[in-house]
């Protein structure tokens, strides 16, 4: 009974049955504990899992490999990869399940470097990976944006015959989509011998995030022709696609179909997409009314989406309303302070900007500095605004000067309105020249052959000036430039961007 519940979608009764065993003085055996730990992992019940771990040690069962594997899985699933790794290191005997559990734990908990290191160690020890290993490894590569490494994993999968594994294939689609190589993702999808709804959803979401919203909608139509039933996540991808293409009416129609035709109960993510849809289209007041009439309680992400729209479209009063709600929900979120500060700065309310900054200092809120990452020759290089720490600083800044000269010949004028500080125009132009993504592009231009694609990962939204400049750089230097910012990809080529200047 405990096993049945532990392996079901409702593992709660497994814990209750264990309690009843104690009442009836029935002693659990070595087979009971792994299933209990499995139930705890599903429920992310760390406290209960640790209590069972103590009993396992007390009864002398901790040395059994299958019990140890379940403990590694428990800590990995509960967001404690260090505990899982500690358990892993203490194990005298490890099998493939052990390695997969600990690698997956690091991969899923934002520790991709550790996942890749463990895979190398696994290879050295002669342990043959399987499809689950590949999924964890590809997830780690996607998290890092390590496209070159991900491609090598793909080649390895083909070499050992794992490329036909459905789960690994889905992970490949996700990898290429998250690394901005969306057409490689499409190729993997087309070559798959069998596809699940996850395969279709991964590609739809990937196309949407990469700025190919119309292609995502078209693929959704093909999914329906195949007679497949879309999931709630599929519709998140569809609504996201509509949002980033300005397809307001279409977005609401898909939302209606989701509820009425497919009987999917909307989640907060779906409502958030509709708020974003209206906000991006400049219909900020409608977005606010929509939030007020939502059947679910709006979370911080929904209010932050509204605040972001207010900042872009200059809605001061609504922006302050959204900020007030965010102070109640997540008072220490640095991004909210930055958004309201930028909104005040856009209206030249410098005294309010100073008040926001003083509040941040008083509350100990630190702003995440903007940075750009680029992978080159198996190394990830990081740049910040005005960065002069790189060994090639002199060559980088010489290239930046050359870039700016060529752009001005093309008619480029710096958008100083994007500099939201009270300084002189000349200082604003200099500040724009040294944004982290421009430094990263200059670095790649001096270190790669002509026409080599440039791929950059940025933790903040691309500003309007950088967007304009990079479009021209792609034309002048004949380079395809892919930038992943905080929420989406921009594919620049021949002076154009995949977002069609709607982002």
Per-residue pLDDT tens for 317-340? 999 999 999 989 988 888 888 888
Alpha-carbon span 301 to 264, nearest angstrom = 21
pLDDT in tens, 392-412: 999 999 999 999 999 999 888
Question: Does the pLDDT value for residue 242 go beyond 90?
Answer: yes
Closest by CA position to 202, among listed 128, 184, 95: 184
The DSSP-derived string for 405-426 is: HHHHHTT----GGG--SS--HH
Give 158's contacts (C-beta < 8 A, 6+ positions apart): none
Sign of CA dihedral 96, 99, 102, 105: negative
**Angle CA 180–183–189, to nearest 5:** 115
| β-bridge mates for residue 482, sequence order | 455, 491
CB 137 within 8 A of CB 107: yes
Alpha-carbon span 316 to 76, nearest angstrom = 44
Closest by CA position to 180, among listed 219, 152, 207: 207
Element (DSSP H or E) covering residue 379: strand 379-384
pLDDT in tens, 1-40: 999 998 888 889 988 898 888 888 888 888 888 888 888 8
pLDDT score recorded for residue 439: 92
* Cα–Cα distances in angstroms (integers) from residue 450 to residues 148, 303, 453, 492, in the given order: 18, 44, 9, 16
**Reported confidence tier of residue 352, pLDDT bands at 50, 70, 90:** confident
DSSP 8-state assignment for residue 318: H
pLDDT score recorded for residue 422: 44
Give 210's contacts (C-beta < 8 A, 6+ positions apart): 177, 180, 182, 488, 489, 491, 498
- First-residue to last-residue Cα distance in the chain: 52
Closest by CA position to 446, among listed 475, 414, 468, 479: 479
pLDDT score recorded for residue 423: 40
Helix (H, G, I), strand (E, B), or coil: what is residue 161?
A: coil
Element (DSSP H or E) covering residue 465: helix 464-476
The DSSP-derived string for 70-132 is: HHHHHHHHTT-HHHHHHHHHH-SS--HHHHHHHHHHHHHTT-HHHHHHHHHHHHHTTPPP-HH
φ and ψ at residue 491, rounded to 5 degrees: -105, 110
Helix (H, G, I), strand (E, B), or coil: what is residue 234?
A: helix
Cα atoms found within 13 Å of the Cα of residue 271, Cβ hemisphere only = 20
Angle between helix axes 197-209 and 182-191 (nearest 10 degrees) is 160
Give 501's contacts (C-beta < 8 A, 6+ positions apart): 467
The full set of domain ranges for the chain reads 371-497
Q: What is the mean pLDDT of residues 136-140?
A: 85
pLDDT in tens, 415-467: 655 454 544 444 445 566 788 899 999 999 999 999 999 999 888 888 888 89
Sign of CA dihedral 143, 146, 147, 150: negative
CB 204 within 8 A of CB 216: yes
| β-bridge mates for residue 496, sequence order | 493
The two beta strands, 454-458 and 371-376, are antiparallel
**Percent of the chain's residues with pLDDT above 90:** 39
Alpha-carbon span 426 to 416, nearest angstrom = 9
Closest by CA position to 469, among listed 479, 459, 460: 479
Question: Does the pLDDT value for residue 255 go beyond 90?
Answer: yes
| β-bridge mates for residue 492, sequence order | 481, 497
CB 279 within 8 A of CB 244: no
Question: Does the pLDDT value for residue 261 go beyond 70?
Answer: yes
């Amino acid at each position: 009974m405990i096993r049945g519940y532990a392996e079901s979608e409702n593992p709660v009764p497994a814990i209750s049955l264990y309690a009843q065993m104690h009442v009836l003085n029935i002693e659990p055996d070595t087979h009971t504990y792994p299933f209990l730990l499995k139930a705890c992992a599903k429920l992310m019940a760390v406290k209960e899992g640790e209590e069972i771990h103590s009993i396992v040690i007390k009864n002398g069962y901790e040395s059994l490999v299958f019990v140890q594997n379940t403990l590694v899985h428990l800590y990995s699933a509960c967001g404690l990869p260090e505990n899982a790794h500690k358990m892993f290191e203490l194990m005298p005997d490890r099998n493939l399940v052990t390695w997969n559990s600990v690698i997956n734990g690091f991969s899923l908990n934002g520790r991709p470097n550790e996942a890749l290191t463990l895979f190398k160690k696994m290879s050295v020890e002669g342990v043959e990976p399987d499809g689950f290993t590949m999924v964890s490894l590809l997830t780690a590569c996607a998290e890092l944006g390590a496209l070159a490494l991900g491609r090598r994993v793909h080649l390895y999968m083909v070499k050992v015959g794992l490329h036909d594994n459905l789960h690994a294939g889905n992970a490949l689609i996700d990898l290429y989509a998250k690394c901005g190589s969306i057409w490689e993702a499409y190729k993997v999808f087309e070559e798959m011998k069998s596809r699940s709804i996850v395969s279709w959803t991964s590609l739809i979401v990937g196309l949407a995030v990469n700025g190919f919203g119309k292609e995502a909608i078209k693929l959704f139509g093909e999914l329906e022709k195949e007679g497949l039933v879309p999931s709630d996540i599929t519709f998140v991808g569809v609504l996201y696609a509509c949002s980033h293409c300005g397809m307001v009416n279409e977005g609401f129609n898909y939302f209606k179909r989701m509820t009425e035709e497919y009987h999917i109960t909307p989640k907060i993510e779906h409502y958030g997409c509709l708020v974003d849809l209206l906000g991006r289209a400049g219909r900020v007041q409608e977005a606010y009314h929509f939030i007020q009439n939502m059947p679910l309680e709006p979370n911080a992400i929904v209010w932050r989406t509204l605040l972001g729209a207010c900042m872009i479209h200059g809605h001061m009063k609504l922006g302050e309303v959204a900020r007030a709600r965010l102070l109640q929900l997540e008072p220490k979120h640095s991004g909210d302070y930055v958004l309201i500060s930028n909104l005040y700065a856009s209206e030249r309310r410098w005294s309010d900007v100073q008040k926001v900054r003083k509040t941040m200092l008083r509350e100990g809120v630190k702003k995440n500095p903007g940075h750009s990452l680029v992978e080159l020759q198996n190394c990830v290089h990081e740049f910040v605004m005005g960065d002069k720490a790189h060994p090639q600083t002199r060559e980088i800044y010489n290239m930046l000067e050359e870039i700016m000269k060529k752009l001005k010949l093309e008619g480029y004028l710096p958008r100083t309105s994007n500099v939201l500080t009270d300084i002189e125009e000349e200082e604003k132009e200099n500040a724009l020249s040294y944004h982290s993504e421009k430094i990263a592009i200059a670095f790649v231009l001096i270190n790669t052959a002509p026409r080599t694609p440039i791929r950059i990962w940025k933790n903040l939204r691309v500003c309007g000036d950088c967007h304009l400049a990079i479009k021209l750089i792609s034309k002048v230097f004949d380079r395809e430039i892919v930038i992943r910012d905080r929420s989406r990809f921009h594919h620049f080529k021949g002076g154009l961007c995949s977002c069609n200047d709607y982002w």
